[in-house]
Chain A
Amino acid sequence: MRTGIFMLALAASILFAPGAHSASDPATDKLLKSTSDHTKFKALQQDFASGPEVTKACLGCHTEAAKQIHKTEHWKWEYTSPEGQLLGKKNVINNFCTSVASNEAACNSCHVGYGWKDDSFDFTSEVSVDCLVCHDTTGNYRKPAGLAGNVVTRDMEFPPGSGKILKAIDLKKIAQSVAKTSRDTCGACHFYGGGGDGVKHGDMDSSLAAPEKELDVHMDALGLNFSCATCHMTKGHQVPGSRYAPTAQDKGGARVRGKEYKTNPTTCQSCHGQAPHKKIAKLNDHTDKVACQTCHVPTYARGGVATKLSWDWSTAGKMGPDGKPLTKKDAKGHVIYTAAKGDFVLGENVVPEYLWFNGRVRYTLQRDKVEKSSYPTRINHFEGSARDGKSLIWPVKIMRGKQAYDPVNKTLAVLHMAGNDDTAFWTNFNWEKAVATGMASVGTPFSGKVDFLETESSWPLTHMVAPAKDALRCHQCHKANGRLEKVPDIYIPGRASDHAAWLDSAGWALALLTLLGVLGHGLGRVLVTMRKK
């Protein structure tokens, strides 16, 4: 009897215990993923009042992590190109929200650090490194715009006097739940580049958090389920595959385990090699001229999130009939005008534009001279040609815009947009004041005059890789006015610009002559045979 009770209890405890579940239960999954359970670390069993307090606890074990981060572009927001241009978010101007300078408190919610609100930020501080923004697994970590990358640990009204309450996050729970990066953590910033979901890149938005196969064959949440780091294979926190240092053409083969590589691991070739098409081998003849993405990213912004295709700052500042800043939406509910930002054009399922690209990108930087003309100023320019042996035909998103510049000094304007001060454009809608503050923040002369010029920027498309069945078909390029109609210096059978009427006539004439010859020969044979009879 006693033994029976004991056995029953034992059986019940085993039956109801987590270990009884199959390998698909989260506890087992978690166990198999890591040798550390962060809930068990004493350093993390405390209430944290700030982000740096968490970092201090992390560094207690991960002693070199902050030093590694200090060497990354994610920390420095600075990169020197092979051509010697000083780039990175800290230095470039784009044609979305234009620049970080003078807007640090707002923009730097996407910095992997805490407290970068102005030039006084200490880039050598280890506790200012934000571990959680990349390693959170709860999905609850937030760095609200306006707080210079800091987190909220007590409910607070922000902006002050607005009546809007920012909810505190539970840093202890988040710190105890850390693990590898995920699409959600990377996406918390990269999906929202340009100031909103899908705004900037076109091939990255929140639809990639848990995508279907049709949206991205690699990230398919029910299939391969790649995280970003599956391709962006990180070493010592250095994340390869930045758009500042793109690889346009990878002539290497598929990588082999155990072998050391110094090349970019994010290319298609690093897994698929140079001859990836097994069923239709003819397609492999294209890979020396055409990037994989050209066929396999047939359209972008496919996940139901619209991307911005143009942005006209010159119309910003309009008030509605009620005297309040005007906002307009299109039939689908997309915001197409705000007083703070001007007019937008948005698009979904957008067909890319195509150009030769050799991996070198030249930027128009803030101190470079610009001219108002009938041609748009290229904020960045993808270099490449059919003849340099380094270029492939790439799909790109071209962002078009009209943005502020100083017509006297002929430089692009740095715009102070966000802030509670009197000069922020989003507070007072005064261009001269906003540009004066922005230019002063980077030490560039400002004439006091503001005008607008047309600009373009290019963005390589490499995510949202469709399954083979949805890739471009032959006829989408090999026809008149097909996808690659405007790509220069290459012969593409079937396209209008490669169509020569005289060549067609000569060909048909040859065919006709051949037919006549055959018929004549046959007729001759018949006649000779008849004569013999």
Chain B
Amino acid sequence: MNAKLSTIGTLSLGLLACGLLMSAAHGAEGDWKRGRVYYQRVCTDCHKAKTGAPVAPNSRTIADWTAYLNADKHAKGTESLKKYVSKEYRASIKASNKAAEKYADVPDEQLFNDVKAFMLKGAKDGDSPASCS
């Protein structure tokens, strides 16, 4: 009886671990091309409009961007960075932003990883340093 319970428990935990691992692996793989479009049409456009100074991916190193993205702080720490890739945010601007409209249904985590993939790839020391445009 105990052995059977143990087998089922092990199988269950194995399944759970498998699912979580698959999720983590999947989450780590971003679509840099989609990230590029979102970065250019949402992040850059907003920065241009509100601050006049967009931030180019190649203005920071991979380490800088990784730390920044992990910290999840935007506007000098006053708000969450992830808010700006959330479905709620996209819904709020989709009437005037085609990228937000097109990617309205992309899961938050996935879109965040897409943008992250573009930023790390485009970093100063990344595989393909990228400017704002």
Contact = CB atoms under 8 A, between A and B. Distances in A.
Contact of B15 (A10, A26, A138): A10
Interface in B42-61: none
Contacts of B20: 12-13, 16
A2 B22 contact: no
Interface in A1-17: 2, 5-6, 8-10, 12-17
Contacts of B32: 138-139
B105 interface: yes
Interface string B97-128: 01100110111001000100000010000011
A16 B12 CA distance: 14
A213 B30 CA distance: 25
B96 interface: no
A25 B107 CA distance: 8
Given A9-B15, A139-B128, A21 B8 contact: no
A25 B121 contact: no
B5 interface: yes
Given A16-B23, A25-B107, A26-B29, 19 more contacts: A8-B12, A12-B19, A17-B23, A17-B26, A21-B107, A22-B106, A24-B106, A26-B30, A138-B127, A139-B121, A139-B127, A139-B128, A140-B121, A207-B133, A210-B33, A210-B40, A213-B98, A221-B37, A222-B41
16 contacts: A5-B8, A5-B9, A6-B12, A8-B16, A9-B11, A9-B19, A18-B22, A18-B23, A138-B32, A140-B127, A209-B36, A212-B41, A213-B98, A222-B37, A222-B98, A222-B99
A21 B36 CA distance: 21
A440 interface: no
Contacts of B18: 13
Interface in A420-463: none
Rank and list the top 8 A-B pairs by shortest CB-CB distance, nearest first.
A13-B19, A16-B23, A9-B12, A140-B127, A26-B31, A18-B26, A9-B16, A16-B19
Contacts, number: 97
Nearest to A19: B22
Given A16-B20, A140-B121, A222-B99, A25 B37 contact: no
Contact of A21 (B110, B114, B127, B128): B110
Interface residues of B, number: 37
A209 B34 CA distance: 12
Contacts of B107: 21-22, 25
Contacts of A210: 33, 36-37, 40
A166 to B, nearest CB: 13
B71 interface: no
A490 interface: no
A304 interface: yes
